[in-house]
Structure 1
Amino acid sequence: MDVRELRNHLNLSTGGVERPEAREPATLEDTTFDQASFGSAIRRLRGERGWTLRDLSDRSKISQSALSRVETGQITLSFDRAHALARALDADFSQFLSQMGPGDTPRGPSPVNAHGWRSVTRRGQGEHVTQPNADYEYLCTDFLYRKMVSGIAVITALSLEQHGPFVTHPGEEFVHVLEGTLVVATEFYAPLTLDVGDSLQFDSTTPHALYSLGGKGARVMFSVTDPRWE
């Protein structure tokens, strides 16, 4: 299976996939990654960079023991943690998928066959991921083929300098400030300050950076879409 076919299988293409007749909704068990394939891809990418497990652990904030179990196929990760791990490896998710060899197809039906699904996260039970500029709690992560990622984040970067270079990615992004003061800096506009209760939705292909004011991390609700998931 080549990369294009694999992307279509995971619904990461830019569109044009015909919708077949409806089938039974995909279950969580049906939509997990093949553990051995997932682990071999992570190990291959880590090896190409000359990193030890400790190096990858420091970058991803995932313990060495957990990473070792992922690489040996004993456990797998949620979709959001897989994205976080891809970022730690300096690889976008499609590049990660391209590292899977022939026959490394994730299990489960095509996402276009999934109808009527739902996902629930109880208070405090989200997937927690720490990144250099924010602490994330990803919500409703048990269904892998959704078209957006949502959650709560504390933006720990306190200045544009601390944040570092602008970031850009496909899709759209939404933020709503729950606590504190958030600044959204973009390449083409003056920095925008958002206070509690303010919301913003924007084209995330625009180079952007989010940071907090007042010496304390702003707490925000966010959603991110990606047209490759449609």
Structure 2
Amino acid sequence: MGEKIRAARKAGGVTLLQLAERSGVSLASLSKAERGLIALSYEKFLAVSQALALDLTDLFHKPSGKGVRERMVVDRVNEAVIYKADRYLYGMLATEWPQKKMTPMYGKVEPGKPVNTADFSRHAGEEFIFVISGSLTMQFENGESRTLHAHDSIYFDSGLGHHYLCASADAVEILVVCVNESNEPGTALAEPRPWTPSNKSPNS
């Protein structure tokens, strides 16, 4: 994945420093990611893809050999593009559909705590999570948390910092759908909206 980021960056004539400034991802993290030393989280991948004027899944794209977009894309079992980072496994879905308005993913969260509990995930837009099996605790930076069990779901403003925590003995499996704030690839990542009681959602 680091090689894909480097190739896209060089193809656009963008230096590492420029990419760091545009994406908000530190120069050190980008350098390590390009060399395969660390795995970036979803929101950092999103920021990098937007800074490079790409659809997020361009970085995960499986060449189909087709010159035009189909009217539907089917992903079979075990065909997802898998990416691992820390306690997470992402299975990127519908990677052959360019310029998506939604980013659907299969996810697996392993037991354990975040490396840095103060480093919440946050990105512009909205997020939907459906628990397939196991139990998931969503912990938010405003101090609230919600524990979800199989077939429970949650929809929230993803600008509100959040952690995914496995609340079961074994890994929890989830379906995640993220919608970018702008729905336009290549636009700057919007600043997260500060959480206030007035924009609090019913499930947050």
> When the two structures are superposed, what TM-score results if normalisation uses the length of structure 1?
0.56
In structure 1, C-alpha distance between the alignment counterparts of 2:78 and 2:13, rounded to whole Å: 28
> Number of aligned pairs?
159
Shift of 1:145: 0.7
Structure index of larger Rg: 1
User: Paired residue for 2:44?
Assistant: 87
1:130 and 1:136 in contact (8 A); partners too: yes
- 1:56 maps onto 2:12 in alignment: no
CA deviations over 1:18-71 (Å, ceiling 9, x no partner): xxxxxxxxxxxxxxx9x975543598328984777886312248xxxxxxxxxx
The partner residue of 1:188 within 136, 142, 149 is 142
**Paired AA for residue 94 in structure 1:** Q
1:216 and 1:144, CA in 2 relative to 1: closer, same or farther beyond 3 A? same
- 1:97 maps onto 2:50 in alignment: no
Gaps of 5+ in 2: 21-26, 55-67, 185-204
In structure 2, C-alpha distance between the alignment counterparts of 1:42 and 1:197, rounded to whole Å: 46
- 1:136 maps onto 2:90 in alignment: yes
User: Paired residue for 2:179?
Assistant: 225
In structure 1, C-alpha distance between the alignment counterparts of 2:99 and 2:153, rounded to whole Å: 26
Gaps of 5+ in 1: 1-32, 62-82, 99-113
1:119 and 1:166, CA in 2 relative to 1: closer, same or farther beyond 3 A? same
Percent of aligned pairs sharing the same letter: 18
2:111 and 2:170 in contact (8 A); partners too: no
User: Paired residue for 1:125?
Assistant: 79
1:181 and 1:58, CA in 2 relative to 1: closer, same or farther beyond 3 A? same
**Paired AA for residue 158 in structure 2:** S
> When the two structures are superposed, what TM-score results if normalisation uses the length of structure 2?
0.63
Give the RMSD, CA atoms, in angstroms: 3.7
Shift of 1:118: 1.8
- 1:45 maps onto 2:13 in alignment: no
Shift of 1:128: 0.6
**1:178 is paired with a residue of what secondary structure?**
strand
**Paired AA for residue 167 in structure 1:** S
- Structure (1/2) with the larger helix percentage: 1
**1:135 is paired with a residue of what secondary structure?**
strand
